Structure formats: C-alpha cells, structure tokens
Amino acid sequence: MTSPRIEIDLAKIEYNTRALVTLLSGRGIDVTGVTKATLGSPEVAKAMIAGGVSRLGDSRLENLEALRHAGIQTPLTLLRSPTPDQAERAVACASLSQVSELDVVKALSAAAGRRGVIHGLVLMVELGDLREGVMPGDVLDVGHRISLTPHVTLAGLGTNLACRAGVVPSAGNMGELSALATLIKARLGLQLPLVSGGNSANLAWALAAPAGRINDLRLGESILLGCDPLTRIPLSGLYTDAFTLVVPVIESLAKPTAPRGATGEAAFGIPTQTGERGTIIQTLAAIGRQDVDPDGLAPPQGVSVLAASSDHLVLETQHRLAPGTEIRFGLDYSALLRAMTSPFVTTTFATTTRQPAFPASSPSIGSLPSAPPFANRTPAAL
C-alpha cells in the first residue's frame, strides 16, 4: 500500500459527530461540521452528515466546490470571507458566507443578483481574539446597511475565539454576542436565525453556561480528533484515533548523537542539540516539514522524533528497521491539517469499525456518553 498515507476511520468520525450533536442539542445548539482540516473531504463530510450536523463549513472555496461536485446537498457555509472577485464562486456553492467588510457584501449582492438568488450573510463580530470581525459598536450600523442591500440577507451573527490570541470563550463574551443579536432584533426588527458562537474551543463554555441566543457551534477538531483545542486534553467518550499517519522507513543505522564539525544554522534555523549520548539507532522516515508538522506527531512506543528537514523525519528507534517498514503516528490538529493538504500524502478510508451502541436518551449535560474506551493517542506498535 502507498505511503506516506493517512488512514481515516470514517465510523469513528461519525460516532464523534453524533455524540457531540446529541450533547449540544440538549442546549439548543446545532452543529456546523467543519471539513477544512481534511481538505474538504467528501467522505469525511458524509460521515459528519450521518452523525447529524445541520450544515457543513469550510474556509476554502475549493473545498466547498469539491463537496458540491461530490453531490453533497447539505447547506454549506464559507467560513472565511471571500474577496470581492470570489463572490460569484461563493454564491454558487455556499448557502452562507461569513463577512465583515461592506465591499464584500456589495460584491456578494451583485453576484447573487446575477444568479437570481438571495445569499445569506453571517456578520462576524470581534470579541477579543483579534482576528476577523467588526467591532461591537459597529454591529448595528453594518447590520442596517446589510439589511438595505438587495439579494443578500443578514442571516446571523458570529464570532471566532481561541484561534489567534487564544481568548477563551466565556459567559462574558458569549453573553455579549447574545446581547448584540437581541439588539439587532430590537433596533432593526431582524430575527436572526443563526447566532454562531465559535468553534470546538466553545465546548467547555457550552456545557457550563446558559446558551442565550447562541444556537450554533462550528466543530472541526473536537469531531476529528476528539480533544479540546484549549487544552488538547481528550474529551471523555470520544475517539482520538480516527486519523493515523503511516510513513515508510528509508534508512536505519547506528549513528552518534552529536554532530561532527563546526555548526551554523540548519535548513529550518538553529537546530536543538540534545547533547552527547553515545551511539543510537537513527531511523529516517520518508516525510518532512513540507508534508507535516513534526511537532504534532505522536510516535509509537519505543520511537522518538529527533528532528525534521524538508523531506526527512529523523527518529530514534530501539533497533534497526528494514527499509519499507511502516511506522504509524497519531496527529494533532496542526499535523493533520498539513498532512491532509500535502500532495505527497495519500488518504485511505475505513468504514469497518464497529460503533458502540449510542444511548437512546440524550446524555446528561456536562459529560459525554459512556462510549468507546478512550483510544490511546500514541500508536501501540509500528
């Protein structure tokens, strides 16, 4: 089988989706399944749909177009604002676009008019993380201007936290978003159908505080990797091993641990020196920084990641491995995102995992159902 490759267990993705959808439905919150970390994989999208998401979201038009080309009819949200020259494509494939600039609104309006449709807009609000969104004091004015623009409708408000500055979703900032939605209704007479509170980092808030007007979360990492992005701690009852990176060995030889000769900067800056430890088995795997974030790999027991260059992953192993031996790694979000977008890493899909029975009743608030034994993120064997 070709490697390097990512093996994707679609049944585990479907299970994680269903668990989170069921949990959040008890709080009056729908789930937008985010496919961007998987390059808009239609197979992953279908697993999320089977798990009960209300819509799908992606930040790249190319990924949304791929989903439509694959025959997916579920409503799609463009999570990153398009540029004005992308408006035609956005209107053609997405039901909703997240926006913050009126020039983009005008371009989407013109594109929607040419197609004879009404395009939904989610106005993004800046609530502290300093990425996208208008300032709270400008929400009424921008919302009013959108309401006067033909061929588009203000379908909702949204915000994004914990992506740039790591700002934690809280009762305070989520309450502010709810209050702004209420203000728009009171001042502009607009009943917003969608108030999107954020991403997987919102789960702790969603289980601890009243949801207010918030009725949507955009979940990617928690579904795909079964962890909380704020802490990277596994979420109880979810699978963390739906994705496995499989990489072949190309060299495995005894070598010293300290370099020989004068040193300067390496290909990616000044390398970390671990000190002289004598001779070890140094094993090279056929993948590098061009394809994956090496800091986001979880190697199997008995294997350590020492370094990485563009095309080589440098490992320490307990014994020599024959060229062609495959090593299996767990991935964090950064490693998954880069590997899935590398043209040199193939993907394979499995649907054979037997899903544990899901409780007929909704799980209690504050905990996920007792589901599969939590899979160790570190692969047990090569």
Q: How many CB atoms lie within 10 A of CB 43?
A: 15
The reply to whether 317 falls in a domain is: no
The reply to whether 375 falls in a domain is: no
DSSP sequence for 50-109? HTT-SEEEES-HHHHHHHHHTT--S-EEE-SPPPGGGHHHHHHH-SEEEE--HHHHHHHH
How confident is the model at residue 369, as a pLDDT?
A: 42
Q: What is the CATH number of the domain that holds 109?
A: 3.20.20.10
Q: Which domain holds residue 90?
A: 10-225
Q: CA nearest 65: which of 45, 50, 85?
A: 45
What is the number of domains present in the chain? 1
The reply to whether 30 falls in a domain is: yes
The reply to whether 193 falls in a domain is: yes
Q: CA nearest 169: which of 159, 161, 178?
A: 161
d(CA 346, CA 46): 19
The reply to whether 156 falls in a domain is: yes
Peptide bond connecting 299 to the previous residue in cis, omega within 30 degrees of 0: no
The reply to whether 196 falls in a domain is: yes
Give, for all 382 residues of the chain, the pLDDT tens digit: 788 999 999 999 999 999 999 999 999 999 999 999 999 999 999 999 999 999 999 999 999 999 999 999 999 999 999 999 999 999 999 999 999 999 999 999 999 999 999 999 999 999 999 999 999 999 999 999 999 999 999 999 999 999 999 999 999 999 999 999 999 999 999 999 999 999 999 999 999 989 999 999 999 999 999 999 999 999 999 999 999 999 999 999 999 998 888 888 877 877 776 677 899 999 999 999 999 999 999 999 999 999 999 999 999 999 999 999 999 999 999 999 999 999 999 999 987 555 544 333 333 324 444 434 333 444 444 5
The reply to whether 179 falls in a domain is: yes
- The CA-atom distances, in angstroms, between 193 and each of 30, 55, 154, 381 are 12, 14, 9, 48
**What's the predicted TM-score (pTM) here?**
0.92
How confident is the model at residue 370, as a pLDDT?
A: 40
Q: Please, where are the H alpha helices in 148-188?
A: 171-188
d(CA 324, CA 19): 38
Strand 303-308 vs strand 313-317: parallel, antiparallel, or unpaired?
antiparallel
How confident is the model at residue 354, as a pLDDT?
A: 54
Question: What backbone phi and psi angles, to 5 degrees, belong to 78?
Answer: -85, 110
**Residues 4, 247 contacting (CB under 8 angstroms):** yes
- Can you read off the two tokens belonging to residue 307? 């370094």
- Can you read off the two tokens belonging to residue 109? 């309006």
The reply to whether 151 falls in a domain is: yes
